[in-house]
Amino acid sequence: MTQKRRVLISMAAALAIMPAAAAWADPAGGGADYQKLEHKYQQLQEQMATMAKQMSAMQKQQAALKASQAKAATTDTAAIDREVKRLYRRVMKDSQKISNLEPGNIQVLIAGDVNFQFQHVDGSASTFYADSSPMIQVRVDKNIFINTAFDFYTSAGAAGGSAADIGAANINYELNNYVTLGGGLVTSPIGGIVGQYNPAPWNRWLVDGSLEGALLPPNELGVWTRGGLPAPDNMGYLTYFLFVSNGPVLATTHDINGASYNNLGFGNWNPAAQNGKTVGGRFSYLPIPNIELGYSFEWSRPSADGSITTTNSLINAVDINTYYVNKKIDGLFRFRGGWTWDQVGQGIDSTGAFSLGGMSNGGQLEVAYQPSLCGIKYLDKMMAAFRYDRIDGPAAANFSNGASHEQRYSIGLDYWLHSNAVLKFEYEFDNLSNGLHGNDAMYVQFAVGI
Partner 1 sequence: MNLMKYKITRSITITAAAMGLVVMAGCASNKSTKSSSAAAKPAVWPLTIKDPAANESGAQIWAENCMRCHQLRSPSQYTPAQWGIIVQYMRLRAGLTGTQAKKVLAFLQSASAH
Should residue 100 be labelled a site residue for partner 1 when binding is judged by CB under 8 A?
Answer: no
- The CA angle 276-280-286, to the nearest 5 degrees, is 175
Should residue 232 be labelled a site residue for partner 1 when binding is judged by CB under 8 A?
Answer: yes
AA letter at 49: A
Tell me whether residue 210 or residue 321 sits nearer to partner 1 (CB atom): 321
Considering CB under 8 A, how many residues would be counted as binding partner 1?
A: 56
Q: From the CB of residue 352, how many other CB atoms can be counted at a distance below 10 Å?
A: 7
Residue 225 Cβ, how far from partner 1 at the closest point, in Å? Answer: 7
AA letter at 112: G
Q: What backbone torsions phi and psi does residue 240 show, to the nearest 5 degrees?
A: -145, 155
Should residue 237 be labelled a site residue for partner 1 when binding is judged by CB under 8 A?
Answer: yes
- Taking CB under 8 A as the criterion, which residues in 345-404 touch partner 1? 345-346
Should residue 241 be labelled a site residue for partner 1 when binding is judged by CB under 8 A?
Answer: yes
Should residue 183 be labelled a site residue for partner 1 when binding is judged by CB under 8 A?
Answer: no
Nearest CA to 37 out of 48, 24, 55 is that of 24
Cβ-count burial of 4 within 10 angstroms (0-12 exposed, 13-18 middle, 19+ buried)? Answer: middle
Q: Provide the CB-side half-sphere exposure for 444 (13 A, CA).
A: 5
Contact with partner 1 (CB under 8 A) among 129, 150, 152, 178: 178
Residue 125 Cβ, how far from partner 1 at the closest point, in Å? Answer: 33
Alpha-carbon span 229 to 237, nearest angstrom: 6
E-only strand ranges, 122-256: 127-139, 144-154, 162-174, 180-187, 219-230, 237-245, 249-250
Q: Residue 448 to residues 132, 167, 258, 371, 378: CA-CA distances in angstroms?
A: 10, 18, 27, 21, 19
Contact with partner 1 (CB under 8 A) among 278, 321, 340, 398: 321
Contact with partner 1 (CB under 8 A) among 132, 148, 239, 407: 239
AA letter at 181: L
Draw the binding track, 418-437, toward partner 1 (x: CB under 8 A; -: no contact): -xx-----------------
Q: What backbone torsions phi and psi does residue 188 show, to the nearest 5 degrees?
A: -75, 140
Residue 247 Cβ, how far from partner 1 at the closest point, in Å? Answer: 13
Should residue 103 be labelled a site residue for partner 1 when binding is judged by CB under 8 A?
Answer: no
Residue 196 Cβ, how far from partner 1 at the closest point, in Å? Answer: 5
Should residue 277 be labelled a site residue for partner 1 when binding is judged by CB under 8 A?
Answer: no
Residue 210 Cβ, how far from partner 1 at the closest point, in Å? Answer: 15
Helix (H, G, I), strand (E, B) or coil at 329: helix
Contact with partner 1 (CB under 8 A) among 41, 129, 388, 416: 416
Pick the stretch among 23-31, 227-235, 361-369, 385-393 that binds partner 1 (CB under 8 A): 227-235
Residue 214 Cβ, how far from partner 1 at the closest point, in Å? Answer: 22
Pick the stretch among 28-36, 178-186, 395-403, 427-435 that binds partner 1 (CB under 8 A): 178-186
Residue 88 Cβ, how far from partner 1 at the closest point, in Å? Answer: 11
Alpha-carbon span 369 to 414, nearest angstrom: 10
Query: Mind giving me the DSSP string for 334-402?
Result: EEEEEEEEEEE---BBTTS--B--EEEEEEEEEEEEE-TTS--TTGGGEEEEEEEEEEE-SSGGGSTTS
Binding site for partner 1 (CB under 8 A): 107-109, 111, 137-139, 142, 145, 147, 172, 174-180, 182, 195-196, 202-203, 225-230, 232, 234, 237, 239-242, 279, 281, 284, 289-290, 292, 297, 299, 312, 314, 321-323, 325, 345-346, 416, 419-420, 449
